[in-house]
Amino acid sequence: MSGDLALLWLGQTISMAGDSVYEKALLWLLLDLTGSSGLTGLVALSAYLPTLVVGLWAGVLADRADRRRLMIVADGGRAALVVAVPVLYHFDMLGPWGLFGITFLVATGAAFFNPARDSLVPVLVPDQTMLLRANAVIQSSWMFALFLGPGVAFAVLEWLGFRTEHLFYLDAASFAVSMACLAAIVVPATERQTGAGRPAMRRELVEGLRLAMGDRRLRGLLVVTAADNLFIMGPALVGTVVFVRQVLHEDIGALMLIEACYAVGMISGTVLLPLWESRFNYGRIVLVGMVLDGLTFVPLLWVRTLWGTCLTIVVHSLAIPMLIVARPSLVQQIVPPRVQGRIFSMIGVTVVGLTALSTGLTGAVAELVPMPIVFAVIGAGAALCGVWGWTIAELRESGRN
C-alpha cells in the first residue's frame, strides 16, 4: 500500500468512526429533545435527501475540480456543522428543524466527498492491476470504524463523564484528522482536475448520463444495483432491528453484537478477495457476490437464537466486499478518469434512492408479514438480481481477470 493510499485510509477510518458516533448521538439527542419517534425518523430521512438532490451535480464537480481539495472543503464544512450541534444545544437554540437542516447539510458534504474519493483512488495506485486491493483497503475503513467509533464513544461517556451532546465534538475532531491526512497526500500535477476550458456543467452532466445509458456494462450495473438495493437494504437496516426485538426478543446489546458481526464478516471477506480476483473478473465477482448476498439471508427464516443469528450474519457479510469493493474497481477500469466522478455519483444516487425506498417499504411490510419470511423472500429476490445480471454478457465479462 502506497503512503498516500495509507493516508487516505487513515483519514477515512477515523472520520467514519466519528460518523458512526454522530449518527447514534444525533438520533438519541433528538429523542431527548422531542420524545417523538416520528420526528426522529424524519431527521433520519434527511440524510438520504442530499444525494438524491445534488448527487449527480456532485459527480460533475468531482470531474472538474481538484478532487483532493474538494474532499478537504467537504470535511471542513461538515466539521463546522457538527460543532454547531452542541453549541446551539448549550444556548437552548436547537430544535428538531435545526437538526433536520444540519443533518441535511452534513449529508450534502458526504454527497460531494464520496464520488471525489472513489475517483481519486486510481490516481494513488501506480499499478492499475492493484485496483481491487486498493479499493479493498479504502472500503475496509468503515468496517474498522464500526468497532472504533462505538468503543471510543463508550469510553468518553462511561469513563470521562461527558454528556451525549459532547460526542459531536469527537466527530468534528475526526473530520479535522481526515483533512490533515488529505492535505498530506501528494497528487501528481498531471492528474489534478480543472474546470478551465471545459463545457458547461449541464453539458458534462448530460455527457455522463449518455455514457452510462449507452454503455451496456454500466447500464446493466446500474439496473441490477438498483434492484438489489431495493430488496436488500431496508431489511438489512430496519429488518434487523425488528428481528432482534420481535423474533429473538433481545435488547439493544444484542443488536450491537449483530452489528459487530457484520464488521467481522466484512473484514474477513475483504481479506479473502484476492482469492476471488485470481479466478474471476470484476463483473463476475460483483454478480456472484450479489447472489451470495441474497442467499445468505434465507437461513433467517429458521434461525431463532442470538448466536445462530450472529453466525448467519457473519456468513452473510463475507459476500458484501465482493459488491462494495469489486464494483468501484470495475468502474475505475472501464470508465475514463475524466468521467469517473459522474458515474460514481450515479451509483451513489441509485444506492441511496433505492435504500430510502426499501427502508420505507420494509417498515410497512413488517407490519403485515413476519420478519423471518421477509428475510427469506428478499434474500431470494436479491439472489435473482445477480442471476439476472449474469445474463448481461457485457457486464459479466467486464473488468480485468
pLDDT tens for the chain, 401 residues long, are: 578 888 998 898 888 888 877 876 776 777 677 766 556 666 767 777 888 888 889 999 999 889 999 999 999 999 999 999 999 988 888 888 888 899 899 999 999 999 999 999 888 887 766 788 888 888 888 778 876 776 676 666 666 666 777 788 888 999 999 999 999 998 876 555 555 556 677 888 888 889 889 999 999 999 999 999 988 887 777 788 778 888 998 875 677 678 778 888 988 998 888 888 778 899 999 999 999 999 999 999 999 999 999 999 999 999 999 999 999 999 998 898 888 999 999 998 898 888 878 877 777 777 788 889 989 999 999 999 999 999 999 999 988 75
- The third-level CATH classification (topology) of the domain covering 201-401 is Growth Hormone; Chain: A; (1.20.1250)
Comparing CA positions, the residue from 150, 165, 140 lying closest to residue 87 is: 165
Please check whether the two domains, 1-191 and 201-401, share a CATH topology.
yes
Q: Domain spans of the chain?
A: 1-191, 201-401
Rounded Cα distance between 401 and 399, Å, is: 7
DSSP code of residue 165: G
Question: Does residue 304 sit in helix, strand or coil?
Answer: coil
The angle formed by the CA atoms of residues 113, 227 and 203, to the nearest 5 degrees, is: 50
The distance of Cα 163 from the centroid of its chain, to the nearest Å, equals: 28
As a three-state string, the secondary structure of 361-400 is HHHHHCCCCCHHHHHHHHHHHHHHHHHHHHCCHHHHCCCC
Could you tell me which CATH number the domain at 1-191 has? 1.20.1250.20
- CA-CA-CA-CA torsion sign (94, 95, 101, 105): positive
Q: For residues 315, 251, 31 and 20, what is the CA-based torsion angle, rounded to 10 degrees?
A: -30
pTM of the model: 0.82
Q: Could you tell me if 8 and 138 are in contact, meaning their C-beta atoms sit under 8 angstroms apart? A: yes
The distance of Cα 42 from the centroid of its chain, to the nearest Å, equals: 20
